[in-house]
Structure 1
């Protein structure tokens, strides 16, 4: 029911924003006056492709090339919509220009060309950024009670599936191994497919070099494809799955993990913080892996020093992050949530939907936990 509701909502929203983009932007461009019929049918075709995409999204029978093409259209729709809003806003001062026909015509022509260049640059830059390899982001985090420095490499939101596969996973592992990590953590949305389709796509997880182990918690997307089967597969690759449990690492920190909050909506394998912290050593700092940043709202008096999350993709396509913040308290980077608890939210290494990123680069994060000086 959740997936059906999401598909209907996505189709409705995309249809509306495509209609708005055509009526309030593309149709008003005088330089396109002779090909308005073509543009209209292109927008209709794009909308129909997007409807088809969401209609079959969870059936997993869409050809990878069509999947890539149709998902790209979603990115184009959103970016055209953003440009259309800007175009509309600038019509307000334009309407106040004195009614000199030649002056208004010249200004409109210059403005239309400028907005077209903006739209093309925005879309092209988004796809170029989406195709780039994840950058390495280094962050220092000061932790109370830490005895010695410790490095954690975090990857999240790889979304291994139809468009990002074995080659991408292998390249990410190669980047991880160059970072000389004490610990590697994977904070959810590792895959976007059922176990019987994964094949060898995740096999390079066996090759991750980490002195103190590799640890994983599932994200919301794992619930769409069988979370327990996916966790079993990840375990078979030598990765520790922290499914509402914790482990003491090197007598230095407690590393705990919770299931994703999607488990509450599915009423299946929900997060259980009390269970996850049942065996922690109170004298040691506690690091919690939780896919969604809003899990921070589930914390009351529990002693948690740092939460590592993903899920938001940093907004993925600016300004979509403003909508993400309606659901999540934090978007990207390190935050001081309370006097006791910090939270770090990664943009993620992959992408979901269109291979587009604007002002939210994909990343692999190396966190250096440092002793907090009194």
Structure 2
């Protein structure tokens, strides 16, 4: 049954992609080029090739394709998915614009058309002389008189096909320009690196000595065939510049194996914080070999928290749980192990990749949960979908006595593009109510 549903879902997705690309081809190729022209041939080839590259980019990592080939298909394949999203949105808006443009052009054509010439006088056709022995009349045997003919009578205006072509090119060109501009801006934001946000979180149990304690929170770095070592170095530089007391890497560090991405993660060894750097797994680690990555981050100086807790000298407990994706491997979060026997008079800060575990955190008396996973939606209007699957998409919210902070993440999954959800590193400053 599970295999059947998987195959059915795959068929539905492929059918949807096929329909979307047919729509794009119709509006951007067929409607704006002549049949049999070189432009139509090239446009058709591009619309066929790009989705194939996108599929290759999506499956190449899991299929064990050589990393160089993954990198070759990732840029065009993933960027096309982002362009396709905004291209379709632009073309759909254009459907409402088309009839308006047609009416405007029709009225302008009507105003600029020359005034019609006066109708010529009717021409009378004389009666034919009756043939010998025949009946009288205009037509033999009909008894009808000859009529009159008015040249041009009954002529109707016809739609100008050149105006249809003009409207198609204006709408299609505008949609393409908006899509490319949006994706270009969103790509620049990712490659530039995340900006640092500062958030103050008051905690009742934090002692006076811990007032102003700074935790640098970074999630969803997503090292892979597109974002590599330079991306990691930008993040490390930005975190170290904040001079944090503690660094929390909250999952989804990678999209690939240690063999391929180990060198890209090496700059993390240069993270500097008074009380160290800590790491918890995200769902993407379980797609990439979680145990191998836990060992690797430990080797470069991070402290993995796998359903564990440590006491921070400033006066609170720091706990971390494995991501729920680990349940498929018989692992996953264990809140009892991480938090069950602690002193609840001390504040507890929990690192958990996915916000959905907030209700477990509330039950175990956590004061602050730090999460990522959502990317803030990454590509508008994806934030509306993210809201359906997560209690909080971005920012700080309260659930009972527990506060939840969700970072938008420092990287991007799939397309290296963010629209309406800029990447961030967050400096969380704890505030004591005793201060």
TM-score range, shorter chain: 0.7 to 0.9
* Cα distance per residue 1:212-263 (max 9 Å; x no partner): 1111100001101221121111112221111111111115111111111112
Conserved? CA contact 1:217–1:241, under 8 Å: yes
Q: Match for 2:388 among 314, 326, 344?
A: 326
Q: Match for 2:78 among 64, 71, 93?
A: 71
Number of residue pairs aligned between Structure 1 and Structure 2: 370
Q: Does 1:259 align with 2:322?
A: yes
Secondary structure, counterpart of 2:182 in structure 1 = helix
Conserved? CA contact 1:20–1:84, under 8 Å: no
Q: Following the alignment from structure 2 to structure 1, what is the Cα–Cα distance between the partners of residues 100 and 390?
A: 35
Q: Following the alignment from structure 1 to structure 2, what is the Cα–Cα distance between the partners of residues 131 and 11?
A: 30
1:232 matched to which residue of 2? Answer: 295
TM-score (norm 2): 0.76
Q: Which has the larger radius of gyration?
A: 2
> How far is the alpha carbon of 1:12 from its aligned partner?
4.9
- Pairing of 1:140-219 with structure 2 (within 5 A): 140-147=200-207, 148-219=211-282
1:26 matched to which residue of 2? Answer: 28
Conserved? CA contact 1:7–1:55, under 8 Å: no
- Give the direction of change, closer, same or farther, for the CA distance of 1:293–1:21 in structure 2 (3 Å limit): farther
> How far is the alpha carbon of 1:313 from its aligned partner?
1.3
Query: Is there any run of 5+ residues in structure 1 with no aligned partner, and where?
Result: none
- Give the direction of change, closer, same or farther, for the CA distance of 1:59–1:126 in structure 2 (3 Å limit): same
2:42 matched to which residue of 1? Answer: 38
- Pairing of 1:129-140 with structure 2 (within 5 A): 129-140=189-200
Conserved? CA contact 2:354–2:372, under 8 Å: yes
> How far is the alpha carbon of 1:308 from its aligned partner?
0.9
Q: Does 1:248 align with 2:311?
A: yes
Conserved? CA contact 2:250–2:281, under 8 Å: yes
Conserved? CA contact 1:18–1:81, under 8 Å: no
1:87 matched to which residue of 2? Answer: 94
Conserved? CA contact 2:372–2:406, under 8 Å: yes
Q: Following the alignment from structure 1 to structure 2, what is the Cα–Cα distance between the partners of residues 15 and 280?
A: 55
> How far is the alpha carbon of 1:309 from its aligned partner?
0.9
* Cα distance per residue 1:186-220 (max 9 Å; x no partner): 00011112223333332222221100111110000
1:340 matched to which residue of 2? Answer: 401
Query: Is there any run of 5+ residues in structure 2 with no aligned partner, and where?
Result: 111-158
2:153 matched to which residue of 1? Answer: none
Conserved? CA contact 2:204–2:432, under 8 Å: yes
Conserved? CA contact 1:161–1:192, under 8 Å: yes
TM-score (norm 1): 0.87
Secondary structure, counterpart of 2:264 in structure 1 = coil
Q: Following the alignment from structure 1 to structure 2, what is the Cα–Cα distance between the partners of residues 11 and 350?
A: 27
Q: Match for 1:277 among 339, 357, 360?
A: 339
- Give the direction of change, closer, same or farther, for the CA distance of 1:224–1:129 in structure 2 (3 Å limit): same
2:186 matched to which residue of 1? Answer: 126
RMSD across aligned positions (CA): 3.0
